[in-house]
Chains A and B, each alone.
Chain A
Amino acid sequence: DSGVTQTPKHLITATGQRVTLRCSPRSGDLSVYWYQQSLDQGLQFLIQYYNGEERAKGNILERFSAQQFPDLHSELNLSSLELGDSALYFCASSVGGGSNQPQHFGDGTRLSIL
């Protein structure tokens, strides 16, 4: 158990819909990262927050947004969903937001778009 909690574990929805994925980091961790894992692209970094502020951005689509709340939990919002958005979405957390921080991953949310 990494200590990172992601909900829900599975999500099935239709194209055009909007969903929210939730992540609670390990106790004491200030930084949260979001990743997307698909068969063809592998694990891709989406975005990082540190203590409530956006720290780094990857190839995150404009239809996707995230935020980190004062209690340090984070949410990833995906809108206007397309079939290609079907993937595993992982959240990871670390103590700090700088370099060489070991990242601890949750068990992911499997998103299926029908």
Chain B
Amino acid sequence: TQLLEQSPQFLSIQEGENLTVYCNSSSVFSSLQWYRQEPGEGPVLLVTVVTGGEVKKLKRLTFQFGDARKDSSLHITAAQPGDTGLYLCAGELWTSYGKLTFGQGTILTVHP
């Protein structure tokens, strides 16, 4: 059983559609980070959320941290082919300084 359950695993959509990726856990996190990874490269940090209920926006991407700090979501508006990639959520438990626990990832494909 994964500490962080990420869904869906695969997402294939058309350009212009909206999508949401979910990251859920029964554990409480001190912070949650979202990364995007492309083939042959390392994960690139998109955002860090640290406060329960926090919402952060990065252009067409909206990140939300649940009130209870157990879940998070990533919403992309009007997806573009350039958004294609592997999206990973990663949480840090209160007792784990710097140790990130990653979800299994969501492979997003946006078709022109």
Contact = CB atoms under 8 A, between A and B. Distances in A.
A21 B13 CA distance: 38
Interface residues of B, number: 27
Interface of B: 2, 30-31, 33, 35, 40-45, 48, 50, 88, 90, 92, 94, 96-105
B105 to A, nearest CB: 6
B97 A105 contact: no
B101 A98 contact: no
Given A42-B103, A42-B104, A42-B105, A97 B43 contact: no
Nearest to A108: B42
17 contacts: A2-B42, A4-B42, A33-B100, A42-B103, A43-B43, A43-B88, A48-B97, A48-B98, A48-B99, A56-B96, A92-B42, A99-B30, A99-B92, A100-B31, A103-B45, A105-B44, A108-B42
Interface in A38-68: 42-45, 48, 50, 55-56, 58
